Amino acid sequence: MKARFEARRRASNARRDRVKLIPALMAAAAVAGGVQPFHGGSGESIASETASSSSYRLTANGDEAACAVRRGANMSDGLSLLTVAPNCRKLLPGIERAKFWREEADGTVAFSANGIDPIVTFS
């Protein structure tokens, strides 16, 4: 009886964890799905370069929500500091924890809190 109860409890916890994960994955897909450099007037970009080559604007749903991110000083090969505007958490909950920008050789960019484990990846 106890084993059956434990199995049900674990299954219930697993379902609850998946339900919590779904909104986060949907938000990440909405932001990451269309990241591309901004091309004049198309209005379809998710990320656009602003004044300097290290400042970018993340946009969701065509300008409904936007926030700024800034690539900072280079720490090592492909790893840089990252500044995320406080209002970015409305666009992608959890992104405000990101402190590092990692750019891979294939052009993929990942934001992370520790320089290793990505919070979000743009390709």
Whether the per-residue pLDDT at 82 is higher than 50: the answer is yes
Q: Provide the sign of the torsion angle of the four alpha carbons 95, 115, 26, 83, taken in this order.
A: positive
Containing structural domain, residue 50: 2-122
Whether the per-residue pLDDT at 47 is higher than 90: the answer is no
- Considering its fold, how many domains does the chain have in total? 1
Residue 99: pLDDT band by 50, 70, 90 thresholds?
A: very high
Cα–Cα distance for residue pair 44/63, rounded to 1 Å: 9
* 101-111 pLDDT tens trace: 999 999 999 99
Amino acid at 9: R
Report pTM: 0.57
pLDDT of residue 4: 55
